[in-house]
Amino acid sequence: MPEKKAIVIGAGIVGLAVSKSLAERGYKVTVFERNEKAVSASIRNFGMVWPIGQPNGYLYDRALRSKSIWKQVCDGAGLWYNEVGSLHLAHHPLEWQVINEFAEAYRPTRSVAAISPAEAVKKSGAVNSNGLLGALWSADEMIVEARVAIEKIPAYLTEKYGVVFHFGKAVTAIRHPAVTAAGAVYNADEIYVCNGADFETLYPEIFAANFFTKCKLQMMRITAQPNGWRIGPSLCGGLSLIHYKGFEAAVSLPQLKDHFKKTLPDYIKWGIHVMVSQNAEGELTIGDSHEYAQVFDPFDKQFINQLIVDYLKKFAVFKDWTIAQSWHGIYPKKTDGQTDFVHSPEQGVTIVNGLGGAGMTLSFGLAEEVVEKAK
């Protein structure tokens, strides 16, 4: 039987995940990336693999499967990762109530616990204990260095599976079995479109008809902490409790949302919830905000960055607060509540998109499901 060929469009995390799944199942995979390397949302994030944000069921299971694959890929490619877990810190009674309800609901199925202030400080020297009521500890979360991983995984896939990458070649047309890239035509049995927030080049009518928008987030990086000091788990404030669907298991969550709407209206307006993770070099990635539109102001809003830092100081303490970098990313987002979009616009072509801000957490698991189903 002749070897089956697949073309993957996009070398962000979704495209890399799909390429790996196809190659492991015997496909000869060719990847096209319009830029000289992936530079969009897949490198502009915390590097968090974040199962705690997902509700029980297939999404939580997908997150754990993704984490397992991430570890396999990082071990194979010689990439750093750190299974640090996470702490959500409560400085208000409603936050503490939500944390206790969440821990009680998920204790039978997850490694979670509502812990005392003393226990939280023991897990992380970066915890601001002033007024701390307690914290939610979860052992599931992991950090990778997204900037490094997304750049180096292509070489790993080439060496291990023979995946061929064409960087700097944009695919501008598809008519199965052919794609046109940089004026040349390439053919494949299966074509996967993993094009992130580019809704305009390929199948624009599909994206227009299927409840897609774009999300701009602002983030910053704090300089490497002195003398190798590390914060341990990734840290979150109470605003993160209202951001992720996983916390809807807490019956008091609507009350907490109302509380934040009254007391932190600017944070709600700009979709700000504040988290911090630490990379291998000791730098701290902090953020973020969420603006939704099809087109954005290309300039970041300084007041949003200041809101993020101000809130972070309420629950975290660092040795050095020097801001070394700031940036924004733009990712695709479904407006109908769906957490992914897998769609075949024509025979032999599959669009994989719509993971929102959970690409690092869910892509590897989703890719396995998509490719397994196709087989």
The residue-averaged pLDDT of 201-220 equals 98
Which SS3 state, helix, strand or coil, does residue 128 take?
Answer: coil
Which SS3 state, helix, strand or coil, does residue 11 take?
Answer: coil
Domain boundaries, the chain: 5-46+147-210+338-374, 119-130+212-334
Q: What's the CA gap between 273 and 268, in Å, rounded?
A: 8
Query: Which homologous superfamily does the CATH classification assign to the domain defined by 5-46+147-210+338-374?
Result: FAD/NAD(P)-binding domain (3.50.50.60)
The 10s digit of each residue's pLDDT in 54-113 is: 999 999 999 999 999 999 999 999 999 999 999 999 999 999 999 999 999 999 999 999
Which residue type does 162 have? G
What residue spans of 57-167 are helical by DSSP H?
58-77, 93-106, 117-123, 146-161
Residue 2 has pLDDT above 90, yes or no: no
The 10s digit of each residue's pLDDT in 319-346 is: 999 999 999 999 999 999 999 999 999 9
Residue 266 has pLDDT above 60, yes or no: yes
The 10s digit of each residue's pLDDT in 306-322 is: 999 999 999 999 999 99
Q: How far is CA 290 from the centre of its chain?
A: 13
Which distant-in-sequence residues (6+ apart) come within 8 Å of 352 by Cβ? 14, 18, 192, 193, 194, 340, 341, 342, 366, 367, 370
Residue 372 has pLDDT above 60, yes or no: yes
- Taking domain 119-130+212-334, whether its CATH number is 2.30.30.30 is answered by no
Name the burial class of residue 222, with classes exposed (0-12), middle (13-18) and buried (19+) by CB atoms within 10 angstroms of its CB.
buried
Cα angle, residue 7 at apex, residues 5 and 60 outer, rounded to 5° = 105
pLDDT value of position 85 = 98
- Do 5-46+147-210+338-374 and 119-130+212-334 share a fold? no
